[in-house]
Amino acid sequence: MDATTSHPLCAAATTNQATTNTQATTTTQAIAALKALAPGFRRHVQTLGDFRLRPLDPTADLPSVQAWVSQPRARFWGMQDQGPQQTETFYAEMQASNHASAFLGLFEGEPAFLVEAYDPAHDPLGEHYPIAEGDVGMHFLVAPTDTPRAGFSTAVIETIMAFLFEAESTRRVVVEPDVENANIHPLNRRVGVEYQSEIFLADKTARLGFCTREGFAAALANTSPRQAQALSGYPERAADHLTPARWAIANRWLVRKAIAEFSHEQLLAPIPQTAATDERGAAGYVLTAPESESVYRFTARRLALDHWAIDQDTLTREVHGRQAPLDAAQFILEFATVLGLGEAMLPLYLEELASTLSAFAYKLDPARPDAKALAQADFQTLEAAMNEGHPVFIANSGRQGFDAIDHRAYAPEAAAPAQLIWLAVARERACFTSLPTLSYGSLLEEELGAGQVAEFHRRLSAQGLDPEAYLLMPAHPWQWFHKLATGFAADVAERRIVCLGYGADRYQAQQSIRTWFNQSRPERRYVKTALSIVNMGFMRGLSPHYMQSTPAINAWLQDLVDDDPYLGACGFDVLREEAAIGYRRDDLEAAFDKHSAHKKMLACLWRESPVTRLATGQRLTTMAALLHVDAKGRALLPELIAGSGLSAEAWLDRYLNAYFKPLLHAFFAHDLVFMPHGENLILILEDQAPVGALMKDIAEEIAVMDPAARE
């Protein structure tokens, strides 16, 4: 797949006379910046893998490049008649120039595509349009392959555009593909290129197109299920996962879970049918609904701490002595009085229950990876594959406020890439706090890149606003459209909040639903955003007041962990919440209840990425994966143990050493306790066995028992 070409670039060294020195200088700066940025540039595409770029070495890379450009499919590249010496000379001259540069694109470490970036002022193209400051021309060529991958060319051009806009001086990318190059035009449009006219160059008739930084980000956002027409144009697809078979499985799963959890909490009391248990310690039980003819029968083992392990396949329901389908909503109605669900709460709880059942039915898609595949899967595939949700809460996927399209766009199990919306918030109402070693400017450059920061500042200046009077912060797209653009209308109208549009990085929602992992740049930080939907009984906001102390708490805890050799020997560490921004409306919120969810609508924090803690040969998994059972009833944990080559006992010893022993040590040595549930812990695996554990959600979910330490 080739793009836009009119070679030789280096021979076209005449500067367009209409171009100002400033414009030429800006693009020259962009070319120089790209040469410097290329060796460290990396972009990850979740469904494919890692893409990188480096400056082309005309001699060392000649065999690959010559093979690519001489292919019949590369006819639009215009170098089929050149021999190796000519090709090497051409690229050597390009690399020595100040107004053009070639880059070799790598996929999973192997050469995969070629990119040329150039100054249109030094190309015949510059004679055909008024060159603007920061214009960068671009050509690219994808290497031929015997094993094509779906979406690969799209991933390549997205990677290239992200790279070009990484340079602060790049304002606009210019392309001029041959009008007959039918394959390239859809790709260009997919990344935000807008064609303006046809132009006549020496060797072709070309389409002149431009892509701005804002247009690129908007084009990426348009691939989200939230913007796509796949559901809104075909509303029946919103429920295509709700089949009778999946619904029956989901109800069986949830009724089993409800009996097990409520019996553990001693709200229900199943009656054993016999005093004896079988060789597995299992016995038959009966549970009769009060004031009802509904009877549940099942086989279960009662474990330590009175946890109930119910054999799901044995679970049956009888009504008036006849077999009846398992129905989670009917189960709740039958036991509502025992469970303390009054008339006011019951409808809301049943709605959350129905949403949870729907989410589970969605997770039963046979195309999702099974336990065997997950044992080899990457971190984010594992994160999205989890089907249990919170193991204690029954209606744990209520998500009241999400519609069916939101579910496909933002639910963890959907694993849809999403872009965060960036806001400028007035410093007079916002507060930025961070670790002592991290400044606001450094954070933005590391998370957005200098080019994107400069672009956002330009957008503020274009509205007559002073960028120095604002802080830049990300927001959940749902939060902007459903809460901030309406409920914060006064702040928007008076320019205390300014929407700057989408960022270019793609994120994936995590199990906690309001935390995002950066798919495009995995080494960049997690972002946690306020999300005012109701899930598991409360609104998932984020307090701006609480954000003020978050980095300081994390800094204190990191020092404690670093100074404890036992924790280090266990491989235990924390993921620090390094910076936070909170926006307050003190004039209104002073009248609100102290704990009102309406005081938690606009805040965010940045947490370290676990990817930065990995050594060669290591990978990550959510600890929740140890409880995962796939749609066919196969558990993931035995697959991990088998892959490690260890006995179950030896594997569990390593797990307890990485996870449980550090928790006990923290309590006894430091009077410190964590909230160590499966979603809050990330395990580091090496050869499929745990060698470390990373604790997250620090500020909100630790407790210090020692009063002196709290001071």
pTM value is 0.89
Is the pLDDT at 36 greater than 80, yes or no?
A: yes
For residue 535, count CB atoms less than 10 angstroms from its CB and return exposed for 0-12, middle for 13-18, buried for 19 or more. Answer: buried
Q: Angle at the Cα of 706 (from 705 to 710), degrees rounded to 5?
A: 95
Please write the tens of the pLDDT for every residue from 403-416.
999 999 999 999 99
pLDDT value at position 22?
53
Q: Angle between the 152-164 and 21-37 helix axes, to the nearest 10 degrees?
A: 120
Please write the tens of the pLDDT for every residue from 678-707.
999 999 999 999 999 999 998 888 888 877
Containing 461, the helix (H) or strand (E) segment is helix 450-462
Please write the tens of the pLDDT for every residue from 309-330.
999 999 999 999 999 999 999 9
Rg from Cα positions in the chain: 29
For residue 496, count CB atoms less than 10 angstroms from its CB and return exposed for 0-12, middle for 13-18, buried for 19 or more. Answer: buried
Helix (H, G, I), strand (E, B) or coil at 108: coil
Per-residue tokens: 517? 């992992």
Q: How confident is the model at residue 24 (pLDDT cuts 50, 70, 90)?
A: low
Q: Supply the mean pLDDT for the chain.
A: 92
Which residue ranges make up each domain of the chain? 21-222, 242-364, 382-612, 618-710
Please write the tens of the pLDDT for every residue from 481-536.
999 999 999 999 999 999 999 999 999 999 999 999 999 999 999 999 999 998 88
CATH class of 618-710: mainly alpha
CB 229 within 8 A of CB 339: no
Is the pLDDT at 663 greater than 80, yes or no?
A: yes
State how far the alpha carbon of 307 is from the alpha carbons of 258, 282, 298, 409, in Å: 12, 13, 15, 35
> Is the torsion defined by CA of 581, 585, 591, 597 positive or negative?
negative
Q: How confident is the model at residue 292 (pLDDT cuts 50, 70, 90)?
A: confident
Of residues 648 and 81, more confidently modeled: 648
Topology (CATH) of 242-364: TATA-Binding Protein (3.30.310)
Helix (H, G, I), strand (E, B) or coil at 583: strand
Mean pLDDT of 156-182: 95
Helix (H, G, I), strand (E, B) or coil at 708: helix
Is the pLDDT at 230 greater than 70, yes or no?
A: no
CB 503 within 8 A of CB 527: no
Please write the tens of the pLDDT for every residue from 530-587.
999 988 877 888 988 888 899 999 999 999 999 999 999 999 999 999 999 999 998 8
Q: How confident is the model at residue 10 (pLDDT cuts 50, 70, 90)?
A: very low
pLDDT value at position 541?
86
pLDDT value at position 596?
87
Mean pLDDT of 141-145: 94
111-115, 274-278, 631-635, 649-653: least confidently modelled range: 274-278
Mean pLDDT of 451-470: 97
Topology (CATH) of 21-222: Aminopeptidase (3.40.630)
